[in-house]
Structure formats: structure tokens, C-alpha cells
Amino acid sequence: MKITKATLNDLDQIWELRLETTELLKQRGIDQWQYMDPSIETFKNDILKGEFYVAQDINGNILGMMSVKTGIEPTYDTIFEGKWRLDAPYLTIHRLAVKRALLGSNTAQLLMDYADQIALDTKTPYIRIDTHEKNKYAIRLFENNGYQYCGWILLVQKNGDLKRLAFDKEVNIENIL
């Protein structure tokens, strides 16, 4: 498996994985990705900015994906019942997903490790991430990767449950395998 920056040629497979993930979350009773957010335009914009990554097998099939964004995430400006541990430049991981058939494999772990490496390569060794409070699988993944719960944030979309649990992590050399 290799992880690379996505191209627009990957968009059909990215969208298929998005729809598969939406259905899985719905089956698990998680009100996340249920209202056409993220949209296909969101994925296109991430790709065009060079901020979207895909994990692929040797045949080019997409097994997992994520966005690793630089700059300020506006929904993180206000955090409730807690606070971010650092007031420093950070990366944000969004749109992390893995093919349903690969859940429980190391695909998500490899993507998380890759995000750590991006943080080091860009000299931004601080990462923030969020998820729905019912997404126990994502919460476990984050905690197993050294992320700490900081409080909760509200999304700006107009539909569904807007509350998301917020986590952060400092990345240093010892965290990289």
C-alpha cells in the first residue's frame, strides 16, 4: 500500500468511498456525513489545494483517504467545555475514511502515521481533529494515536447534529515509527 496526494483522476473512487462511508455511519446510527457534506466540490477543492491523500493498493484502488489541511479551521475557533492544549499553528485532519472491507486493518493507522509525517515535514508538529460523539471507532483510533480530548466544537453546516468532539496532538520524533 502506498499513500500519495490525490489527483482529480481519483475523484470517482473518492466519491464511492465517501458514499460507502456515509452508509456505514448511517447503519451505526451516527449522524455524520448524512447531508451531502462533504460535497464532491469539497473533495475537488482539497485535491486542487494539494491537501487530499489516498491510500492505494498496487493496482491503484483507493483503500482509504484523508484531508490534511494547513491554516486556521474556523469551526475550531470556539471550543466548548474545554480548550485546545496549544495556541500554535496546526494541521487539521478531515474526511478520514477507509473501505468497509478494510476496517480493523492497519489502513487507518497508516493514514494517521502519514499525517504525523506531514506535520514533521512541514514543521507544524501540532494536529487537530474532530468526530461525532457516537463515532466510538474514530475516538478509539484518535486516542490510540496519542490524541487527547479537548472539548467540543460546532460545525457550520445547517443539517443534523452539529456537535463534534475535538482532539489534538503534539507530534514529535518519538511518535514517528
* Residue with more model confidence, 154 or 174: 154
- The model's confidence at residue 176, banded by pLDDT at 50, 70 and 90, is very low
Nearest to 54 by CA among 102, 88, 22, 91: 102
32-46, 59-73, 116-130: lowest mean pLDDT where? 32-46
Whether residue 70 is predicted with pLDDT greater than 90 in this model: the reply is yes
Give Cα separations from 151 to 93, 133, 160, 165 (angstroms): 17, 11, 19, 6
pLDDT in tens, 19-50: 999 999 999 999 888 877 899 999 999 999 99
- The model's confidence at residue 133, banded by pLDDT at 50, 70 and 90, is very high
Mean pLDDT of the chain: 92
**Which domains, and CATH codes, for the chain?**
2-175 (3.40.630.30)
